[in-house]
Amino acid sequence: MYNVITLRNGSSEAKVNLSLGANLISLNISDKKILREPDYSKPIDNPFLYGMPILFPVNRIEGGSFTFEGREYNFPINEEKTNCHLHGSLHKTPFVIDSLSKNRVVCRYSATTNAPYLSFPHEFTIFVEYKLIKNSICIKTTIKNNSNLNMPIFLGYHTTFNVNDNSLIKVGAKFEIERNMQNYLPTGRLPSFDGISNSLINGEFVPTASKISKHYKSKKFGKMVIFDKTSNESVEYFNSNNLSFRLIYGDGTSYICLEPQTCMANCQNAPFDRNFSGFSFIKPHKKKVYLSKIKLSKGDKR
């Protein structure tokens, strides 16, 4: 059995699965199902394609290893075909409730010396707060470094939205990060925008008409929008500037993944300067905060 809690505010409802990484597995605003929901009565085909799983370390790390400040970090190779570590295991790690009310919950997970997170050599605590306010949900993720060393941080959300044939997607992008599509790692090139990228930027991409797998750096204060022409409603996805990288993925069916990230894929080993690739860290006994909001609005907000 899973430990799932329900938040309510007026006609809006959200569900959070504490057993699996405090994943926001359901978001229903004014009878509109925003997120793709898992059916736990049968095996889940891909845990990343339902709700809003938390990824740490986000995306792929080539060879599962990297160095930082003279220390070597090693994560298990869990994607053998690319020889990479992919997405960490926070998405399937139990969280506990730190505080709870009708429309708000704060979920907590702590890695300690006696109970470490994978082979990550840092003690840390992560708090994930969900607050449901009428037509939107606010997400606040706080990561505190409890160790005495600078702690590298690579965070993201594999947010999976429902779409239909009348959906149009807009993603503000500063540039694209080309990837080798055999191992999905950056090549070092920043190509000119192609037809798919231009359709995303112009808010004209139809997610059910074609597959997509693109990696971008967003513009400042960039947001992502799903506009439904039939209902004349927009799902707006806001993220703070420290979540400025994007992975856009869809298989051309009934969902689209709009994934905010703190860094580019393989930022630890990518053929770019680490600052450019978004490699960041938290100082000892300090914290960083990451903010997101999903909002349902009337009209075209592209």
pLDDT per residue as tens digits for the range 54-69:
999 999 999 999 999 9
Grade residue 221 by pLDDT with cuts at 50, 70 and 90.
confident
Q: What is the mean pLDDT of residues 253-269?
A: 98
Express each pLDDT in 123-145 by its tens digit.
999 999 999 998 999 999 999 99
Mean per-residue pLDDT of the chain: 97
**Where are any strands of DSSP class E within 53-171?**
54-55, 60-62, 65-68, 71-74, 84-86, 96-100, 104-111, 124-133, 136-145, 151-153, 156-157, 160-162, 167-171
Give the pLDDT confidence score for residue 211 in this predicted structure. Answer: 96
- In 3D space, the residue among 80, 48, 21 whose CA is nearest the CA of residue 251 turns out to be 48
Express each pLDDT in 18-66 by its tens digit.
999 999 999 999 889 999 999 998 889 999 999 999 999 999 999 999 9
Cβ distance 141 to 289 under 8 Å? yes
Cβ distance 125 to 131 under 8 Å? no
- In 3D space, the residue among 278, 65, 21, 8 whose CA is nearest the CA of residue 153 turns out to be 278
Give the pLDDT confidence score for residue 134 in this predicted structure. Answer: 86
- Asked whether residue 103 carries a pLDDT value surpassing 90, the answer given is yes
- In 3D space, the residue among 41, 51, 43 whose CA is nearest the CA of residue 20 turns out to be 51
Give the pLDDT confidence score for residue 61 in this predicted structure. Answer: 98
Q: What are phi and psi of 176, to 5 degrees?
A: -95, 145
Give the pLDDT confidence score for residue 231 in this predicted structure. Answer: 96
Residue 31: other Cβ atoms inside 10 A:
8
Express each pLDDT in 132-181 by its tens digit.
998 999 999 999 999 999 999 999 999 999 999 999 999 999 999 999 99
Give the pLDDT confidence score for residue 165 in this predicted structure. Answer: 98
53 class by beta-carbon count within 10 Å (0-12 exposed, 13-18 middle, 19+ buried): buried
Q: How far apart are CA 185 and CA 116, in angstroms?
A: 28
Give the pLDDT confidence score for residue 1 in this predicted structure. Answer: 82
Q: How many helices (H) and strands (E) does the chain have?
A: 2, 27
Structure tokens at 129: 């707060």
Residue percentage of the chain with pLDDT more than 90: 95
Spell out the residues 6+ positions from residue 114 whose beta carbon is closer than 8 angstroms to its own: none
- pTM for the predicted model, two decimal places: 0.96
Q: Which CATH architecture has domain 4-298?
A: Distorted Sandwich (2.70)
- Torsion angle defined by CA atoms of residues 128, 216, 275 and 151, in that order, rounded to the nearest 10 degrees: 20
Structural element, H or E, at residue 287? strand 287-298
Q: How far apart are CA 217 and CA 261, in angstroms?
A: 9
